[in-house]
Each structure stands twice: as structure tokens, then as C-alpha cells.
Chains A and B, each alone.
Chain A
């Protein structure tokens, strides 16, 4: 049924636990073979439920999930051949690392020498060849994480799911593991569906990111598109830092539109998610795309602002200003000769291009 290039397909999938609230609403996703897809969203947004349905631990209330063109709703989890890395790893505490890795192979009735060889190979891949005889609890968090990863790959599944696998690690280890997982994915070319609430993790690792909120995918695209071109106010706000100015659409002119703030300032923006004149809209703008006291003249938008607060962050100065009635407006000023002479309370001129400000829905 699924189209030829979609390896995993969610077709109009709904999920409800109590018959009253839908935690996943009308989900439609196609995942091509070999992709690293991340489901990103706040807690309760339905991303983990989606993963659990794919793994087979939850049954969709409506719709159908396809794996390689085969409907899998009625296939029990142990027959799906999908690897999974669990939150907190779920390594079997009474078995050694070797026995943990051998478990899926023994279940598949491989012969002893094949099992030994595969276990060894996979452990070497995650650089834990020496640790096969340890118990999981004798390993550090990072090592346990790698064992869990190895266990999910050792039986060569068609698809690997990861449910916030790095959540329990400290920041440095987490970053290191992100690269490691990314490299393993690139090397063996397996399809990965990854769940996280950490946007930098998602940006680092993924081919594509699906941003979840309120049981729905808000936007699904590559990391750069997601950051540069958010399609609605939630995505703009959830991914990276973002300034938001609210107002009413005054006029629409092809690709651009003019939004008048409550203070009466006219902002020229890209028309992204507004339909008609008179709609209320949120204009979204990245802090690094705003210039202070620029002398060049090719900016469509230029407003007077007042510096409220300066926070020194080494490479840049985080500057909070009041502009167009918003006193939480952030500008990132590089710590160069130009930005060094700002003082709190002074008036400055802010400028930005129409192509950097995006008129989105109101939220």
C-alpha cells in the first residue's frame, strides 16, 4: 500500500488512551529508507506515543502504520524486527553485557559461534570490546548507553527506534554520544526514528525533524529549513531563540505583507501564515538578523529602540531592547569594536530585512 519510496508510513493515525482526548491526531508521515528522523516536541505532545505505536507497545485507535509496505498494526512487538533503545536503557540487570547482546540472537536460534562473533563485532563497534563480562550496573552511564545501542543493532533490525536515549547523561557526554550515534547511522545506513525534547540534539543528528505539538506535527523538514523558515509561531518559538511582535495585517503585496503593531509601527514581512487583511499575526524574527545603528540603507524595516539591559556573554552581548511596544526584544550584538559602546538607557536604531521577518499565525 505505501508508496514505493516510503519505508515507514503513518496513514491517518489517531491515538486516544481514554476515549476522550486524542494524544495523536491524524498523523501522516512517510519515512524513506536510511533516514534519521527526529520527533521533537515538548512533553505530552504525542511524540513518545507515536514511537510506542511504531514499536508495537501501543495500538493505534485509528489509521494504519506500514513498514516496508506491510500493515503492522496487528503484528506483536516481538515479531516486528525493530530495534529500540529505551529511556534509561532497560539493560537486563541480571545478565552480563555479552548475555544482554546475545539475548536477541539466542531468541532467533542462531548457533553459538555466530552469536559470539556478532556480539564481539557489535561491542567493538561501540568500543566496548573489553567489557563483555561486566554486569550493566558496573558500567558508567555512557557505557550503558553504548551497550543499549549495541543491543538494539546486534540483530540487524530493519529500523531502530530511540526514545530519549541520551536524557540521563551529562551535557558533555551527551554531545559526544550525539556524534557517535550520528556516525554509526552514517556508517551502517540504518533507518532511525529518534525521539527527544532537546532541540540542539535534534539539529545535530537528524536528516529531518518532525516538530510535535498537541498531538500534531507542526512542521517536518530538514534542520536548516526548520530554523530558517518556520511555518508557524510554535515552531519559530520552539526552535532556537526568537523575537515575536504582534499586530494586524494592513496590506498584502505578493510575497510580502505589512503588519501594523498595536503601537502603530508598520513592519514589512514575508507573508507565510496569514490569509487576509485584518488578520492578527505574529511577526517572528531571529535575534542575530537584527542590526543596531546600521549605516547601510537596504533594510525595509527600521525603528527607534531603547536599550534596557546588556548581558555580557563573551563572544556576543545579549542586548534587551524595547521596540514596537515589546520590551523583551533580544538582539545579539557581536563583541566587536562596533557593539562595544552600547549603554543601558540609550536610544538606538534597529534595522532588519523583510526577508528575515516572517508573518505567522497568532498564538
Chain B
């Protein structure tokens, strides 16, 4: 750390004498040192500044915004500030008082159509029916000239006289909410702000979470199984051959992800190349073609192919540093080739395995485009739901909560990994 020399300097000064140490020219040493270091510090700062700025704008701020958005519930409070103020005093026993009705009436009547529309979307998450109720009321309230308002409102729509609707408002009184996180794991608040399970037919996320982890783990596993031997071969070949083979491994990076994914669609669909070949070779009957596309299998196959280089690269660079003499020594000492591999080579390649698995798992768990294209209904992952809520339902709060959970899970995994294997055991080269 930069400050430690100064701290050290302080200590020495206190121990010896109260006078600061001076340079030959009579300037305090500390001042002189700071001056001498200043140029270097400015230079270092300037070199880092553009990237730092870029990361701040494109990475840190969006993540911060996402985390805020996943708990933010303040918008509705800005649309119905007075109503919510009065609402807090309601005893939740009988229907609210005339005063609360009146406040609500004016805030709905006088509020802009846009902000009320936006608020009703949120209100509908708490209790469906709010949106249509307010839309109707906004239109009808114009005809009401004077109070008392309670009876007139109930006359317009009897839902105004339903306790459930009023109670549901209570979920939204606080400016922050855990509701999105609850939704993300198939829970919700009921109107009394108690945590309950979603209705059976609306439970989708827990299932998707499990599948996301399952697919990511399988992809990681297959990448390791396929990548380890090829990396081993690459690392033992003379450089001129290994470079050539390395280009083959990296070749997929030269084609667009979309092109590759579409190519797999051509290969794997029921009337596709793979099935046609099997039928032609009489391995399977025409009516028993394998269903390899638009399901989980497709997601796993295609993601494995796409993420394989991310496993091979760290494995290869670690294996390159393992001296071939280790294996020779093990053989020389009497171990069979298999034993020598298992006891000597494999443990030394662990840093590469860790790095590769970590890289592939992290990339896989947030994958979106491939499951979207080849996964069908069955192969969707959590990333697809995030995109769906961002683009289609515009429920950004839920999107943000799903994303934040993903981020949290990865952080926890990273921590566990660090405890088990040690982060210093990761090597990319």
C-alpha cells in the first residue's frame, strides 16, 4: 500500500524525537518524499483514468442501479403521497374512512394519466384488478363534483368497497420492498404482507434456477471431459504442431456466435444432418428420429461446443508449465502410467482445471442467446427470464432481482471456492 512508508516514517519520528527528519536541504523528509512521488502518482492515475471511467459508467453504475431497482418501491409513493400518508393511520379493521377515500379520489382525479398508469402496473403485482379499477375510475371520477366520496366511488365500482384492495395497498407503503426477490423464488406477499407461495401454476423460477445450475454444471463437466485430453495433447506436442492445433481450437472464435448456433440448429433438428445420416445408415427408423433440437439436450450440446475454448485455454497454459520430467520421474520410480498420471500429473494441473471450470460455469450460468435459440420451452435458463421481463413484461424490478440473485450466488460460489481450493490456485497462464 502506498501509505505504509509514511506510517512507518511517523513511527520512527515518534520513537526518536518529536522533530521531523529533515533532508540535507532542510525540507522535512515526508514533504520531500511526497513531492518526489507526486509525479509518479499523477502519471499512474492518468494511465488508469480512461479505463476506470469507462468501467464506472458501463459496469459499476449499472450494477448499482440494478441492485437499487430490485428493492425500489418509491415510485408509487410519489404518485399517491397523501393517500399513503393517511393510509398508515388506517386500522385495517373495517373499510377506510371517508377522509382516505377523499384523498385517493383527488389524487387519482388530478394525477397525470401517465404516472397513474405506471403506478397501476406496480399495484397489479400486489393485487391484480387494480389496473382496470383505476383506469375505469380515472374516467368516471370526472363526473363526481362533490362529496361525500366513499359511497359514490363504491357506486362506480364495487371493488372500492372490497377490503382486499385496500389491504393490498399496505404492501406498497414502504419505499423499499423485498417483493421482487420473493417473486424470483416463487414466493409473494399476500394482501396482509405475509410471505406465501405463489399459486401452483405460477411457480416457474425455482424450477428454472435448478435447471440453470444443472445445465451449467453439465456443460462445465462436459467441457472438462472433452477439453482435458486435447489440452494434454497440445501441451506435450512440439510447439509448431501445438500452435496449429491451437488455431483449430480457437477457430470457433472467428465465427459469430449466432452463425455457430444456427449451424447447430441445421445439424441437430429432426430433419437435420445428424438424424438424416443415422436414418440413411439404417441406425434408426425414420419415425424414431432423435429429438435433439429445441430442448435441454440441445442447450447442453451447443453450449458445450461454444464454451469449450474457455476450458482448453487455461488448461493448456497450465499444462505447458508442468515439466514432462515429472511424469518421467514417476514412471522411473515404478508407477504405472495411469498411476503416475493420477497421482502426479493431475494434481499439478488442478490450477488449470479450477480456472477453466470457473470460467465456463460463470459464463454458462448467465447464458442467454443459445438457450433462447435452441432451447425451446424446455431448455430455457434464468437469463432468458431476465430478458423476458426486461423486454416483454417491462417488470424491471423482477429482472433486477433475478440478476442480483445470480450475482449473489456467484459471489458465494467464489467465496466457497476460495475457501476450498484457494484463489491463488487459479492460473490462466
Q: Do A and B bind each other?
A: yes
**Residues of A participating in the B interface, judged by any CB pair closer than 8 Å:** 55-57, 76-84, 86-88, 90-94, 103-104, 107-108, 151, 155
With CB as the reference atom, state the residue of chain A lying closest to B347: A94
Smallest CB separation, B204 vs chain A (Å): 46
| Cross-chain contact B323 with A108 (CB below 8 angstroms) | no
B348's partner among A55, A83, A88, A93 (CB-CB below 8 A) is A93
B323 contact from A57, A81, A90, A103, Cβ within 8 A: A90
A88, B328: Cβ atoms closer than 8 Å = no
Q: Given A108-B334, A151-B333, A86–B348 Cβ distance below 8 Å? A: no
Rounded to whole Å, the gap between the CB of B132 and the closest CB of chain A is 68
User: What's the minimum C-beta distance from A90 to chain B, rounded to whole angstroms?
Assistant: 4
Chain A residues with CB under 8 Å of B330's CB are: 92, 103
Contact A84 B332 (CB under 8 A): yes
CB-CB under 8 A from A107, the residues of chain B are 333-335, 339
B340 partner residues in chain A, CB cutoff 8 A: 78
Within 8 A of A (CB), among B28-74: none
B325's closest neighbor in chain A, by CB?
Answer: A90
Chain B window 100-134, contacts with chain A (Cβ cutoff 8 Å), 1 for yes, 0 for no: 00000000000000000000000000000000000
Closest-by-CB residue of A relative to B337 is: A78
Is B279 on the interface with A (CB-CB < 8 A)?
A: no
Main secondary structure of the interface of B (DSSP, over half): helix
CA separation between A9 and B356, bound complex, in Å? 48
Q: Which of B330, B331, B333, B340 has the most CB of A within 10 A?
A: B333
Known A-B contacts A88-B323, A90-B325, A94-B347; the reply to A55 vs B332 at CB < 8 A is yes
Chain B interface size range: 10 to 19
Residues of A within 8 A of B335 (CB): 78, 103-104, 107
Nearest-CB residue, chain A, relative to B334? A107
Q: Which residues of chain A are within 8 angstroms of B339 by Cβ–Cβ distance? A: 107
- Whether the pair A83, B332 counts as a contact (CB closer than 8 A) is yes
- Given contacts A79-B334, A90-B329, 7 further A-B pairs with CB under 8 A are A78-B336, A78-B337, A92-B344, A104-B335, A107-B333, A107-B334, A107-B335
Q: In the bound complex, do residue B333 and residue A104 qualify as a contact, i.e. CB atoms below 8 Å apart?
A: yes
Instruction: Give the residues in chain B near A83, CB-CB below 8 Å.
Output: 332-333
**Interface residues in chain B, defined as those with a beta carbon under 8 Å from any beta carbon in chain A:** 323, 325-326, 328-337, 339-340, 343-344, 347-348
Q: Is the CB of B323 within 8 A of A77?
A: no
Bound Cα distance from A70 to B207, whole angstroms: 66
B348 touches A94 (CB 8 A): yes
A–B complex contacts, Cβ < 8 Å, 6 sampled: A56-B332, A78-B337, A79-B334, A84-B332, A107-B334, A151-B333
Min CB distance A134 to B, Å, is 18
Smallest beta-carbon distance A98→chain B, Å: 14
Complex A-B, nearest 10 residue pairs according to Cβ-Cβ distance, in ascending order: A104-B333, A90-B325, A90-B329, A107-B334, A77-B331, A78-B331, A84-B332, A94-B347, A86-B325, A107-B335
Q: Which residue of A lies closest to B327 (CB)?
A: A90
> How far is A129 from B343 in the complex, measured between Cα atoms in Å?
25
Q: How far is the CB of B325 from chain A (nearest CB, A)?
A: 4
Contacts of B333 in A (CB 8 A): 78, 83, 103-104, 107, 151, 155
Max chain B C-beta neighbours (<10 A), residue from A55, A81, A104: A104
A88 to B322: give the CA distance in the assembly, Å: 13
A77 to B336: give the CA distance in the assembly, Å: 9
Please give, as numbers and ranges, the residues of chain A lying within 8 Å of B336 by CB-CB distance.
Answer: 78
Among A78, A91, A93, A108, point to the contact of B332 (Cβ < 8 A): A78
Report the Cα distance A307→B25, complex, angstroms: 59
Contact present for B334 and A90 (CB under 8 Å): no
Instruction: Find out whether the CB atom of B328 lies under 8 angstroms from the CB atom of A92.
Output: no
What is the minimal beta-carbon distance from B354 to any residue of chain A, in angstroms? 14
In the complex, are the beta carbons of A88 and B325 less than 8 A apart? yes
Assess the A90–B331 pair: CB atoms within 8 A.
Answer: no
Q: Are A90 and B328 in contact (CB under 8 A)?
A: yes
- A82 to B343: give the CA distance in the assembly, Å: 20
Given contacts A78-B334, A78-B336, A104-B333, contact A86 B347 (CB under 8 A): no
Q: Measured between C-beta atoms, what is the minimum distance from B348 to chain A in Å? A: 6
Closest to A82 in B: B332
Contacting pair B329 A76 (CB below 8 A): no
Which residue of A55, A83, A92 has the most chain B CB atoms within 10 A of its CB atom? A92
